[in-house]
Amino acid sequence: MGDKSNLDRRDFIRATAAVAATSMLNNSTFAEITNVPRENWSGTYHFHTNKVFQPRTAADVAAAIGSVKEVRALGTRHSFNGIADSTSAQISTLGLKDVQVNAAEHTVKAGGGIRLGELAEIIDKQGWALHNLPSLPHISLAGCISTATHGSGVKNGNISTAIREVEFVSADGKLHTLSRAKDADTFPGAVVALGALGVITNLTVDLHPRFDVAQSVYENLSFDQLQHNLVDIMGAAYSVSLFTHWQNNRADQVWIKRRVENGENHQLPEMFYGATLAKKKLHPAGPQMDATGCTEQGGSIGPWYERLPHFKLAFTPSSGHEIQTEYFVPLEHGYEAIRAVETLRDRITPHLIVTEVRTIAADDLWMSMAYQRPSLAIHFTWKPEEAAILDVLPAIEAKLAPFHPRPHWAKVFTLPKQEITARYPRLNDFRTLVKKYDPNGEFANDFMKKSVLA
Protein backbone atom coordinates (compact mmCIF):
# COMPACT_ATOMS: atom_id res chain seq x y z
CA MET A 1 0.00 0.00 0.00
CA GLY A 2 1.25 3.47 -0.87
CA ASP A 3 4.07 2.04 -3.03
CA LYS A 4 4.82 4.16 -6.09
CA SER A 5 5.81 1.08 -8.14
CA ASN A 6 2.09 0.45 -8.49
CA LEU A 7 0.86 3.80 -9.73
CA ASP A 8 -2.71 4.08 -10.98
CA ARG A 9 -4.05 7.25 -12.57
CA ARG A 10 -5.05 8.83 -9.28
CA ASP A 11 -1.64 8.07 -7.78
CA PHE A 12 -0.03 9.69 -10.79
CA ILE A 13 -2.05 12.89 -10.32
CA ARG A 14 -1.24 12.95 -6.63
CA ALA A 15 2.44 12.35 -7.21
CA THR A 16 2.53 15.11 -9.83
CA ALA A 17 0.78 17.49 -7.45
CA ALA A 18 3.28 16.60 -4.76
CA VAL A 19 6.21 17.33 -7.02
CA ALA A 20 4.62 20.63 -8.06
CA ALA A 21 4.03 21.61 -4.45
CA THR A 22 7.61 20.70 -3.66
CA SER A 23 9.22 22.62 -6.49
CA MET A 24 6.97 25.62 -5.87
CA LEU A 25 8.49 25.94 -2.44
CA ASN A 26 12.14 26.04 -3.37
CA ASN A 27 13.53 22.60 -2.87
CA SER A 28 11.31 21.75 0.06
CA THR A 29 11.89 18.18 1.13
CA PHE A 30 9.82 15.54 2.78
CA ALA A 31 12.42 12.80 2.78
CA GLU A 32 11.72 9.54 4.55
CA ILE A 33 13.57 9.07 7.79
CA THR A 34 14.63 5.82 9.38
CA ASN A 35 15.42 6.71 12.98
CA VAL A 36 11.87 6.70 14.36
CA PRO A 37 11.20 3.55 16.40
CA ARG A 38 8.50 1.35 14.94
CA GLU A 39 6.70 0.99 18.23
CA ASN A 40 5.05 3.26 20.76
CA TRP A 41 6.97 4.81 23.65
CA SER A 42 6.55 1.80 25.95
CA GLY A 43 7.19 -0.80 23.23
CA THR A 44 3.74 -2.32 23.76
CA TYR A 45 2.26 -1.37 20.36
CA HIS A 46 4.03 -2.05 17.04
CA PHE A 47 3.34 0.15 14.00
CA HIS A 48 2.46 -1.41 10.66
CA THR A 49 4.57 0.73 8.34
CA ASN A 50 8.25 1.53 7.97
CA LYS A 51 7.62 4.60 5.84
CA VAL A 52 7.98 7.75 7.96
CA PHE A 53 8.34 11.32 6.69
CA GLN A 54 9.53 14.22 8.82
CA PRO A 55 8.57 17.50 7.12
CA ARG A 56 9.56 20.92 8.46
CA THR A 57 7.00 23.15 6.74
CA ALA A 58 3.34 23.02 5.79
CA ALA A 59 4.35 22.73 2.13
CA ASP A 60 6.48 19.70 2.96
CA VAL A 61 3.57 18.20 4.87
CA ALA A 62 1.34 18.69 1.80
CA ALA A 63 3.96 17.10 -0.43
CA ALA A 64 4.35 14.13 1.91
CA ILE A 65 0.58 13.59 2.08
CA GLY A 66 0.39 13.77 -1.71
CA SER A 67 3.05 11.13 -2.17
CA VAL A 68 1.14 8.26 -0.51
CA LYS A 69 -2.33 6.79 -0.53
CA GLU A 70 -2.94 6.75 3.20
CA VAL A 71 -1.12 8.37 6.07
CA ARG A 72 -1.36 9.25 9.77
CA ALA A 73 0.31 11.99 11.78
CA LEU A 74 2.71 10.76 14.45
CA GLY A 75 3.72 12.78 17.52
CA THR A 76 6.01 11.47 20.26
CA ARG A 77 4.46 7.93 20.18
CA HIS A 78 2.99 8.08 23.70
CA SER A 79 -0.37 6.50 22.82
CA PHE A 80 -1.08 2.92 23.78
CA ASN A 81 -3.34 1.75 20.95
CA GLY A 82 -3.34 1.94 17.16
CA ILE A 83 -4.63 5.53 16.97
CA ALA A 84 -1.43 6.82 15.32
CA ASP A 85 -0.80 3.68 13.26
CA SER A 86 -0.91 3.23 9.50
CA THR A 87 -0.33 0.38 7.09
CA SER A 88 0.91 2.93 4.55
CA ALA A 89 2.91 5.82 6.04
CA GLN A 90 3.27 8.18 8.99
CA ILE A 91 4.20 11.85 9.08
CA SER A 92 6.32 12.55 12.13
CA THR A 93 5.53 16.09 13.23
CA LEU A 94 8.63 16.59 15.33
CA GLY A 95 10.16 18.93 12.74
CA LEU A 96 7.28 21.41 13.19
CA LYS A 97 8.43 23.38 16.24
CA ASP A 98 8.29 27.15 15.64
CA VAL A 99 7.02 29.22 18.58
CA GLN A 100 5.70 32.78 18.43
CA VAL A 101 4.17 34.49 21.45
CA ASN A 102 1.57 37.20 20.80
CA ALA A 103 1.57 39.14 24.07
CA ALA A 104 -1.19 41.50 22.96
CA GLU A 105 -3.54 38.59 22.18
CA HIS A 106 -2.40 36.43 25.14
CA THR A 107 -1.65 33.56 22.75
CA VAL A 108 1.20 31.49 21.46
CA LYS A 109 1.32 30.03 17.95
CA ALA A 110 3.32 26.83 18.13
CA GLY A 111 4.27 24.04 15.74
CA GLY A 112 2.27 20.85 16.28
CA GLY A 113 5.40 18.81 16.97
CA ILE A 114 6.85 20.82 19.84
CA ARG A 115 6.89 18.95 23.14
CA LEU A 116 4.83 20.48 25.95
CA GLY A 117 7.90 20.76 28.17
CA GLU A 118 9.89 22.65 25.52
CA LEU A 119 6.97 24.99 24.83
CA ALA A 120 6.49 25.60 28.55
CA GLU A 121 10.10 26.69 29.11
CA ILE A 122 9.91 29.15 26.21
CA ILE A 123 6.65 30.81 27.24
CA ASP A 124 7.48 30.87 30.96
CA LYS A 125 10.60 32.92 30.20
CA GLN A 126 8.32 35.46 28.53
CA GLY A 127 5.97 35.57 31.53
CA TRP A 128 3.28 33.16 30.34
CA ALA A 129 1.77 29.80 31.23
CA LEU A 130 -0.70 27.21 29.94
CA HIS A 131 -3.65 26.69 32.26
CA ASN A 132 -2.82 23.04 32.91
CA LEU A 133 -0.58 20.13 31.94
CA PRO A 134 -0.89 16.32 31.89
CA SER A 135 1.23 14.02 34.04
CA LEU A 136 4.11 14.20 31.57
CA PRO A 137 5.64 17.10 29.59
CA HIS A 138 7.23 14.76 27.03
CA ILE A 139 4.38 14.64 24.49
CA SER A 140 3.85 16.76 21.38
CA LEU A 141 1.37 19.63 21.48
CA ALA A 142 -0.69 18.35 18.52
CA GLY A 143 -0.65 14.76 19.79
CA CYS A 144 -1.78 16.03 23.17
CA ILE A 145 -4.75 18.07 22.00
CA SER A 146 -5.79 15.58 19.29
CA THR A 147 -6.72 13.02 21.96
CA ALA A 148 -8.14 15.40 24.62
CA THR A 149 -5.19 14.86 26.93
CA HIS A 150 -5.87 16.29 30.38
CA GLY A 151 -4.46 17.04 33.80
CA SER A 152 -6.60 17.41 36.89
CA GLY A 153 -8.67 20.10 38.61
CA VAL A 154 -12.45 20.46 38.94
CA LYS A 155 -12.23 23.84 37.24
CA ASN A 156 -9.63 22.89 34.63
CA GLY A 157 -10.66 21.83 31.15
CA ASN A 158 -8.35 19.47 29.26
CA ILE A 159 -5.44 20.98 27.31
CA SER A 160 -7.53 21.01 24.09
CA THR A 161 -9.81 23.66 25.62
CA ALA A 162 -6.92 26.14 25.44
CA ILE A 163 -6.76 25.91 21.64
CA ARG A 164 -7.88 29.05 19.84
CA GLU A 165 -6.92 28.14 16.26
CA VAL A 166 -6.02 24.93 14.47
CA GLU A 167 -3.98 25.05 11.27
CA PHE A 168 -3.83 21.77 9.35
CA VAL A 169 -3.11 20.28 5.94
CA SER A 170 -5.96 18.15 4.63
CA ALA A 171 -5.88 15.17 2.28
CA ASP A 172 -5.91 17.37 -0.86
CA GLY A 173 -2.80 19.22 0.35
CA LYS A 174 -4.62 22.42 1.21
CA LEU A 175 -3.82 24.42 4.34
CA HIS A 176 -6.82 25.32 6.53
CA THR A 177 -7.17 27.45 9.64
CA LEU A 178 -10.23 27.02 11.85
CA SER A 179 -10.72 29.33 14.78
CA ARG A 180 -12.85 29.38 17.92
CA ALA A 181 -14.05 32.90 17.12
CA LYS A 182 -14.84 32.56 13.42
CA ASP A 183 -15.78 28.91 12.87
CA ALA A 184 -18.18 28.17 15.70
CA ASP A 185 -19.99 25.50 13.65
CA THR A 186 -16.90 23.37 12.92
CA PHE A 187 -14.14 24.39 15.33
CA PRO A 188 -15.47 22.30 18.26
CA GLY A 189 -15.06 19.22 16.06
CA ALA A 190 -11.63 20.14 14.76
CA VAL A 191 -9.55 20.28 17.95
CA VAL A 192 -9.96 16.79 19.44
CA ALA A 193 -9.91 15.38 15.91
CA LEU A 194 -7.94 12.17 16.56
CA GLY A 195 -5.72 12.85 13.55
CA ALA A 196 -8.68 12.37 11.21
CA LEU A 197 -8.87 15.78 9.51
CA GLY A 198 -5.26 15.98 8.41
CA VAL A 199 -1.88 16.95 9.80
CA ILE A 200 -1.85 19.87 12.26
CA THR A 201 1.01 22.19 11.44
CA ASN A 202 0.39 25.00 13.95
CA LEU A 203 -1.83 25.64 16.95
CA THR A 204 -2.72 28.95 18.55
CA VAL A 205 -3.08 28.46 22.27
CA ASP A 206 -4.50 30.65 25.07
CA LEU A 207 -1.91 31.96 27.50
CA HIS A 208 -2.22 33.01 31.13
CA PRO A 209 0.23 35.05 33.20
CA ARG A 210 2.84 32.66 34.54
CA PHE A 211 2.25 31.31 38.04
CA ASP A 212 3.93 29.20 40.69
CA VAL A 213 2.71 25.98 42.23
CA ALA A 214 3.56 24.09 45.42
CA GLN A 215 3.03 20.33 45.44
CA SER A 216 2.38 18.21 48.53
CA VAL A 217 1.53 14.55 48.98
CA TYR A 218 -0.67 12.91 51.61
CA GLU A 219 -0.81 9.20 52.34
CA ASN A 220 -3.71 6.83 53.01
CA LEU A 221 -7.03 8.53 52.32
CA SER A 222 -9.92 6.21 53.17
CA PHE A 223 -12.39 5.66 50.32
CA ASP A 224 -15.12 6.24 52.93
CA GLN A 225 -14.13 9.92 52.85
CA LEU A 226 -15.07 10.06 49.18
CA GLN A 227 -18.72 9.20 49.77
CA HIS A 228 -19.70 12.69 50.91
CA ASN A 229 -16.55 14.71 50.19
CA LEU A 230 -15.42 13.65 46.71
CA VAL A 231 -15.92 17.05 45.07
CA ASP A 232 -14.46 18.92 48.06
CA ILE A 233 -11.41 16.66 48.11
CA MET A 234 -10.83 16.90 44.35
CA GLY A 235 -11.47 20.65 44.52
CA ALA A 236 -9.26 21.28 47.55
CA ALA A 237 -6.53 22.74 45.31
CA TYR A 238 -5.87 23.80 41.72
CA SER A 239 -5.11 20.19 40.76
CA VAL A 240 -5.68 17.08 42.86
CA SER A 241 -4.97 13.42 41.99
CA LEU A 242 -5.71 10.27 43.97
CA PHE A 243 -3.53 7.20 43.51
CA THR A 244 -4.72 3.74 44.53
CA HIS A 245 -3.91 0.05 44.12
CA TRP A 246 -7.57 -0.69 44.98
CA GLN A 247 -6.68 -2.58 48.16
CA ASN A 248 -7.45 -1.67 51.79
CA ASN A 249 -10.36 0.69 50.99
CA ARG A 250 -8.08 3.65 50.34
CA ALA A 251 -6.20 5.97 48.06
CA ASP A 252 -2.58 5.32 48.93
CA GLN A 253 -1.55 8.83 47.92
CA VAL A 254 -3.20 12.21 47.32
CA TRP A 255 -1.19 14.68 45.20
CA ILE A 256 -2.16 18.28 45.86
CA LYS A 257 -0.92 21.03 43.55
CA ARG A 258 -1.70 24.49 44.96
CA ARG A 259 -1.29 27.74 43.08
CA VAL A 260 0.95 30.07 45.05
CA GLU A 261 -0.46 33.60 44.95
CA ASN A 262 1.79 36.55 45.87
CA GLY A 263 4.60 34.24 46.98
CA GLU A 264 2.60 33.06 49.98
CA ASN A 265 3.28 29.42 50.73
CA HIS A 266 0.99 28.44 53.57
CA GLN A 267 2.00 25.59 55.83
CA LEU A 268 -0.22 22.60 55.05
CA PRO A 269 -1.96 20.78 57.91
CA GLU A 270 -0.60 17.39 58.95
CA MET A 271 -3.94 15.75 58.16
CA PHE A 272 -6.19 15.94 55.08
CA TYR A 273 -9.54 14.14 55.44
CA GLY A 274 -7.75 11.62 57.66
CA ALA A 275 -4.74 11.21 55.30
CA THR A 276 -1.29 12.16 56.63
CA LEU A 277 1.26 14.50 55.08
CA ALA A 278 4.08 12.47 53.50
CA LYS A 279 7.48 12.89 55.13
CA LYS A 280 9.50 12.03 51.99
CA LYS A 281 9.22 12.39 48.23
CA LEU A 282 7.12 9.61 46.69
CA HIS A 283 6.63 8.02 43.26
CA PRO A 284 2.90 7.70 42.55
CA ALA A 285 3.23 3.94 42.10
CA GLY A 286 4.52 3.58 45.67
CA PRO A 287 7.52 4.03 47.98
CA GLN A 288 9.32 1.06 46.39
CA MET A 289 9.76 3.11 43.15
CA ASP A 290 12.58 5.65 42.70
CA ALA A 291 11.03 9.14 42.92
CA THR A 292 13.99 11.03 41.42
CA GLY A 293 12.15 11.59 38.13
CA CYS A 294 9.03 12.94 39.87
CA THR A 295 8.34 16.65 40.17
CA GLU A 296 9.27 18.22 43.51
CA GLN A 297 6.96 17.70 46.48
CA GLY A 298 7.12 18.70 50.14
CA GLY A 299 5.41 22.03 49.45
CA SER A 300 8.42 23.56 47.70
CA ILE A 301 7.43 26.35 45.30
CA GLY A 302 8.26 26.04 41.60
CA PRO A 303 7.11 27.21 38.20
CA TRP A 304 3.78 25.84 36.95
CA TYR A 305 5.45 23.59 34.37
CA GLU A 306 7.69 21.93 36.98
CA ARG A 307 4.82 21.08 39.34
CA LEU A 308 1.65 20.44 37.30
CA PRO A 309 3.11 17.33 35.60
CA HIS A 310 4.00 14.43 37.89
CA PHE A 311 7.18 13.65 35.97
CA LYS A 312 10.21 15.72 34.97
CA LEU A 313 11.04 16.24 31.31
CA ALA A 314 14.61 14.95 31.65
CA PHE A 315 13.57 11.57 33.10
CA THR A 316 11.50 8.60 31.92
CA PRO A 317 7.95 9.27 33.10
CA SER A 318 5.82 6.73 34.94
CA SER A 319 7.35 3.24 34.80
CA GLY A 320 8.34 3.04 31.12
CA HIS A 321 7.16 -0.57 30.83
CA GLU A 322 3.41 -0.30 30.87
CA ILE A 323 0.04 -0.18 29.16
CA GLN A 324 -2.54 2.47 30.06
CA THR A 325 -6.36 2.59 30.17
CA GLU A 326 -8.69 5.36 31.34
CA TYR A 327 -12.45 5.86 31.61
CA PHE A 328 -14.33 9.13 32.10
CA VAL A 329 -17.60 9.14 34.04
CA PRO A 330 -19.80 12.05 35.15
CA LEU A 331 -18.29 13.57 38.30
CA GLU A 332 -21.67 13.34 40.02
CA HIS A 333 -21.40 9.54 39.83
CA GLY A 334 -17.70 9.49 40.68
CA TYR A 335 -17.99 7.84 44.06
CA GLU A 336 -20.30 5.08 42.82
CA ALA A 337 -17.99 4.49 39.84
CA ILE A 338 -14.94 4.14 42.10
CA ARG A 339 -16.80 1.69 44.31
CA ALA A 340 -17.98 -0.27 41.24
CA VAL A 341 -14.41 -0.71 40.00
CA GLU A 342 -13.23 -1.56 43.50
CA THR A 343 -15.38 -4.70 43.46
CA LEU A 344 -12.92 -6.07 40.85
CA ARG A 345 -9.86 -5.27 42.98
CA ASP A 346 -8.57 -8.81 43.24
CA ARG A 347 -8.65 -9.17 39.44
CA ILE A 348 -7.13 -5.73 38.87
CA THR A 349 -4.32 -5.40 41.42
CA PRO A 350 -2.08 -8.29 40.26
CA HIS A 351 -1.70 -6.61 36.83
CA LEU A 352 -1.67 -3.01 38.00
CA ILE A 353 1.21 -0.58 38.56
CA VAL A 354 -1.13 2.10 39.87
CA THR A 355 -4.53 3.75 39.32
CA GLU A 356 -4.93 7.53 39.22
CA VAL A 357 -8.23 9.36 39.73
CA ARG A 358 -8.55 12.93 38.39
CA THR A 359 -11.23 15.49 37.55
CA ILE A 360 -11.76 17.44 34.33
CA ALA A 361 -14.12 20.38 33.76
CA ALA A 362 -16.80 19.98 31.09
CA ASP A 363 -16.13 21.39 27.62
CA ASP A 364 -17.81 21.74 24.23
CA LEU A 365 -15.34 19.86 22.04
CA TRP A 366 -17.39 17.19 20.26
CA MET A 367 -14.93 14.29 20.69
CA SER A 368 -13.59 15.26 24.11
CA MET A 369 -14.12 12.66 26.83
CA ALA A 370 -15.39 15.57 28.99
CA TYR A 371 -17.87 16.80 26.34
CA GLN A 372 -20.63 18.55 28.31
CA ARG A 373 -19.86 16.46 31.40
CA PRO A 374 -17.85 17.56 34.46
CA SER A 375 -15.85 14.35 34.65
CA LEU A 376 -14.01 12.00 36.94
CA ALA A 377 -11.36 9.98 35.12
CA ILE A 378 -10.30 6.58 36.44
CA HIS A 379 -6.92 5.66 34.97
CA PHE A 380 -4.98 2.39 35.10
CA THR A 381 -1.24 2.10 34.55
CA TRP A 382 -0.92 -1.62 33.89
CA LYS A 383 2.07 -3.92 33.86
CA PRO A 384 2.81 -4.82 30.20
CA GLU A 385 0.62 -7.94 30.40
CA GLU A 386 -1.61 -7.47 27.37
CA ALA A 387 -3.59 -10.72 27.54
CA ALA A 388 -4.49 -10.27 31.20
CA ILE A 389 -5.47 -6.66 30.61
CA LEU A 390 -7.67 -7.49 27.62
CA ASP A 391 -9.30 -10.08 29.85
CA VAL A 392 -10.13 -7.70 32.71
CA LEU A 393 -11.13 -4.61 30.67
CA PRO A 394 -14.58 -5.90 29.63
CA ALA A 395 -15.33 -6.57 33.31
CA ILE A 396 -14.32 -3.02 34.26
CA GLU A 397 -16.34 -1.61 31.36
CA ALA A 398 -19.39 -3.64 32.46
CA LYS A 399 -19.09 -2.33 36.02
CA LEU A 400 -18.87 1.24 34.70
CA ALA A 401 -21.67 0.78 32.14
CA PRO A 402 -24.35 2.40 34.36
CA PHE A 403 -22.24 5.59 34.33
CA HIS A 404 -21.80 5.67 30.51
CA PRO A 405 -17.99 5.65 30.51
CA ARG A 406 -16.03 7.29 27.71
CA PRO A 407 -12.61 5.69 27.17
CA HIS A 408 -9.48 7.83 26.67
CA TRP A 409 -8.85 7.80 22.90
CA ALA A 410 -5.11 7.20 23.31
CA LYS A 411 -5.31 4.29 25.75
CA VAL A 412 -6.41 0.65 25.59
CA PHE A 413 -10.12 -0.19 25.79
CA THR A 414 -12.50 -2.85 24.48
CA LEU A 415 -15.80 -0.94 24.29
CA PRO A 416 -17.40 -1.57 20.88
CA LYS A 417 -18.13 1.22 18.40
CA GLN A 418 -21.88 1.13 18.98
CA GLU A 419 -21.39 1.98 22.66
CA ILE A 420 -18.88 4.71 21.88
CA THR A 421 -21.30 6.12 19.30
CA ALA A 422 -24.02 6.31 21.93
CA ARG A 423 -21.75 8.27 24.26
CA TYR A 424 -20.78 11.05 21.86
CA PRO A 425 -23.88 13.10 20.92
CA ARG A 426 -21.96 14.96 18.17
CA LEU A 427 -20.21 11.92 16.68
CA ASN A 428 -22.25 12.08 13.46
CA ASP A 429 -21.32 15.75 13.07
CA PHE A 430 -17.69 14.77 13.55
CA ARG A 431 -18.02 12.09 10.86
CA THR A 432 -19.48 14.68 8.49
CA LEU A 433 -16.56 17.01 9.24
CA VAL A 434 -14.09 14.21 8.56
CA LYS A 435 -15.78 13.51 5.19
CA LYS A 436 -15.44 17.19 4.28
CA TYR A 437 -11.66 17.28 4.77
CA ASP A 438 -10.87 13.65 4.01
CA PRO A 439 -13.52 12.44 1.53
CA ASN A 440 -11.53 9.36 0.47
CA GLY A 441 -10.51 8.20 3.93
CA GLU A 442 -6.79 8.82 3.48
CA PHE A 443 -6.39 9.44 7.22
CA ALA A 444 -8.78 6.62 8.19
CA ASN A 445 -6.68 3.92 9.81
CA ASP A 446 -7.90 0.66 11.36
CA PHE A 447 -8.38 2.24 14.80
CA MET A 448 -10.62 4.96 13.38
CA LYS A 449 -12.63 2.47 11.33
CA LYS A 450 -13.05 0.12 14.29
CA SER A 451 -13.98 2.69 16.93
CA VAL A 452 -15.02 6.01 15.42
CA LEU A 453 -15.93 6.29 11.74
CA ALA A 454 -19.25 5.07 10.30
Per-residue contact flags (x/-) with ligand FAD for residues 197 to 226, judged by CB under 6 A = --xx--------------------------
Q: Which of 51, 69, 72, 131 binds ligand FAD (CB under 6 A)?
A: 72
Segment 391-430, which members bind ligand FAD (CB under 6 A)?
Answer: 408, 410
Please report, as a single letter, which amino acid is at residue 313: L
In the complex, least distance from residue 83 CB atom to ligand FAD, rounded to whole angstroms? 4
Strands (DSSP E) found in 232-280: 239-244, 250-260, 271-272, 275-277
Within 13 A of 36's CA, how many CA atoms are on the CB side?
25
Determine if 139 is a binding residue for ligand FAD (CB under 6 A): yes
Q: Give the x/- contact pattern for ligand FAD in 236-255, rule: CB under 6 A.
A: --------------------
144 lines the binding site for ligand FAD (CB under 6 A): yes
Burial tier of 271 (Cβ tally within 10 Å: 0-12, 13-18, 19+):
exposed
Closest to ligand FAD by CB, 112 vs 277, is 112
Region from 29-37, 122-130, 147-155, 387-395 binding ligand FAD, contact rule CB under 6 A: 147-155
Residue 318 near ligand FAD by CB under 6 A = yes
Nearer to ligand FAD, 65 or 392 (CB): 65
- List the interface residues with ligand FAD, window 321-350 (CB under 6 A): 324
Burial state string for 392-423 with b = 16 or more CB within 10 A and e = fewer than 16: bbeebbebbeebebbbbbbbbbbbeeebbeeb
Name which position in 62, 163, 190, 194 contacts ligand FAD (CB under 6 A): 194
- Three-state DSSP state, 305: helix
Q: Is 150 in the site for ligand FAD (CB under 6 A)?
A: yes
Judged by CB under 6 A, the residue of 76, 170, 239, 355 near ligand FAD is 76
Q: Is 136 in the site for ligand FAD (CB under 6 A)?
A: yes
The one among 62, 68, 83, 120 contacting ligand FAD by CB under 6 A: 83
Contact status: 61 vs ligand FAD (CB under 6 A)? no
Minimum distance from residue 146 beta carbon to ligand FAD (Å): 4
Residue with Cβ nearer ligand FAD (150 or 180): 150
Q: Could you say which residues in the range 353-372 bind ligand FAD, by CB under 6 A?
A: none
Which of 110, 10, 6, 93 is CA-nearest to residue 52? 93
Under DSSP, the state recorded for 296 is P
Give the whole-angstrom CA distance, residue 177 versus residue 181: 12
Of 22 and 324, the one with the shorter C-beta distance to ligand FAD is 324
Angle CA(40)–CA(53)–CA(118) in degrees, nearest 5? 60
No. of helices (H) and no. of strands (E), the chain = 12, 21
Candidates 73-81, 243-251, 297-305, 423-431; binding stretch for ligand FAD (CB under 6 A): 73-81
Q: Which residues of 322-344 are buried (b: 16+ CB within 10 A; e: fewer)?
A: bbbbbbbbbbebbbbbbebbbee
How many whole angstroms separate alpha carbon 181 and alpha carbon 368?
19
Angular region, 77: left φ>0, alpha ψ -120 to 50, beta rest:
left
CB atoms within 10 A of CB 225: 18
Closer to ligand FAD at the Cβ: 93 or 107? 93
The DSSP call for residue 46 is B
Please identify, among the stretches 31-39, 131-139, 247-255, 286-294, the one whose residues bind ligand FAD according to the rule CB under 6 A: 131-139
Nearest residue to 377 via CA among 417, 409, 414, 415: 409
Binding-site member from 49, 149, 160, 216 for ligand FAD (CB under 6 A):
149
Positions touching ligand FAD (CB under 6 A) are: 41, 72-79, 83-84, 93, 112, 134-136, 139-140, 142-144, 146-147, 149-150, 194-195, 199-200, 317-318, 324, 408, 410
